[in-house]
Amino acid sequence: MSQHFDAVVIGTGQGGSPLAVRLAESGRRTAVIERHLFGGTCVNVGCTPTKTYVACARAAHVARTAARYGVMIDGNIAIDMARVKARKDEVIGSSRSSVEKWLRGTKNLTVFKGHGRFTGPHALRIEAADGSTQDIDADLVFINTGTRAAVPPVNGLESVPYLTNASILELTEVPEHLVIVGASYIALEFGQMFRRFGSRVTLLVRGERILTREDADVARAMQDVLSREGVEFRFDTDLQRVEPLAAGVRIVTGTGTVDASHLLFATGRTPNTDDLGLEQAGIAVNRHGMIDVDGQLRTSVPGIYAIGDVNGRGAFTHTSWNDYEIVASNLIDGEARSVDTRIMAYAVFVDPPFARVGMSEEEVRKDGREALIATMPMARVGRARERGETDGFMKALVDVRTKRFLGAAIYGIEGDEAIHTFIDIMNADAPYTTLQRAMHIHPTVSELIPTLLEGLKPLR
C-alpha cells in the first residue's frame, strides 16, 4: 500500500532540508528521504569538516610563524591528528544531529531513512537498511541527492589504498608524504592544509598550471604562496598506473615515479543520479550525469524538480541554499524567481582565501565587450600590512557602457568576506560609482575597494 504525500524531498542537503520544512509548514503533507547522513555533503564531508581542518592548520601555521610578530614559542609545533579529527567529529556531529532533530520535530513532515528509487514519475520505493521497503507517491518531487568524489580509472588502482575528500577526513595520523592528483579547489585546500599539519605534499597536475578556470595571474599568485610553504607541484604529469608499496603507493607517470605514503584523488565530482531509477520517472541525465532544469529548477517531467549540486547549476552550499529559496518563493510565496538571473560567486578557502563574483578577466576578454579594469596589490591594504599578510591582489572589471560591474576577484586576507561588497552592488544592479563613493570603515580590507576603483582604466 502506497502512502500519498503532497510533496517528497529526496536528500537532506543544504537545499533539501529547509525546503522540506517550508513545504510542511505551508500545509503540505511532506516526506523527506535520507539514505545515509543527515545534512548532506556540506555538513558531513564538505564545508563543515574541511573548514574545521583549515582552522586547525592555520593555528599550527600561526604558531610556527609567531616569532615574526615577536611571540616566542619554545619547542616544536606538533600535530595530534587524532585530536584534530575528534574536534572535527564533534563539530559535524552537532550539525548533523541538529538537522535530524529539526526535520523529525517538524509537524506535517515524515522522515524516511533509506534509499529512495523512482518506480514511476511520482512514485518511489524506499528501501531501509534492514531490507524492508515502503512505497510512497507525491504530487511534487524534489531531487536533492548531491554529488560524490569522482575517481578516474587508473591501472592498478584496485590493488592500492587511496583517499577521497571524504575518507581523508578519517585519518588519525599525519601522512608522511601525501600525493594529490588534481589542481583545483579541493586539491589546493587539502594540499596547504596537510602541509601545515606537517606532511610532505606533492600535487600532480595534468596541465601546465593550477586553477585552469581562473585567470592566470590568480593561479600564479596562489602557486607562489603554496610553494613558499613547501607544497610541491609536478606539471604536465600523466598518471599511468599505481603500484603497492610496503608503506604506501608508487605512482608511475609519463616522466617518472613518485612514492607516497598516501594518495588523494581530488579530480572532480560525479552526481548521485545513477541509482535513483530516473528512467522509471522519465527523467534523462546529460552527458555529465546531471539533471537538466529550467530557470525555476523544474525537470522535463511536470511536478519534479532538481535542486543542489545534482542539477549542474552550481556546485556550492550557497547555490544549493539559493535553489531552495527560489523554489520556495515560487511555490509557496507566489513569486517568479529564476536561477537564470543568479550572479555566480564563490571562494577557495586556501590561506589567504580567493573569492570571485561574476566574470573573470579572461571571460570578459573573450566576450569582447568594452570594459574597464583595475588591480591593486594587497600590500597597499593597511589591514594586510598590520597582519603581516600581504600576499595577493584585488581586481575589478566594469562595463564601459552600463557602468555596471562585470566581475571582481580578491586573492588576499579576508577576501572571502570583502567580496560581498561587490556581490551586493551587482545584485542591486547599481553602477560601480555607488561603491566607489561609499565611505568604508578604517582599517579594513573593504575600505580599499573604492581606492581600487579609482584606478579603473581601459582593458586592452
Active site residues: 442
Nearest of 196, 247, 239 to residue 55 by alpha carbon = 196
Grid coordinates belonging to 268: 572532480
What is the Cα–Cα distance from 345 to 408, expressed in whole angstroms? 9
HEC profile of 383-425: HHHHHCCCCCEEEEEEECCCCCEEEEEEECCCHHHHCHHHHHH
Partners of residue 258 on adjacent β-strands: 251
Phi, psi of 84 (to 5 degrees): -60, -45
Grid coordinates belonging to 406: 562585470
Residue 156, classed as helix, strand or coil, is coil
What is the Cα–Cα distance from 311 to 327, expressed in whole angstroms? 13
Q: Is 242 left (phi over 0), alpha (psi -120 to 50) or beta?
A: beta
Partners of residue 296 on adjacent β-strands: none
Alpha-carbon Rg of the chain, whole angstroms?
24
Contact present, 151 and 267 (Cβ < 8 Å): yes
For 139, half-sphere exposure in the C-beta direction (CA atoms, 13 angstrom radius) is 7
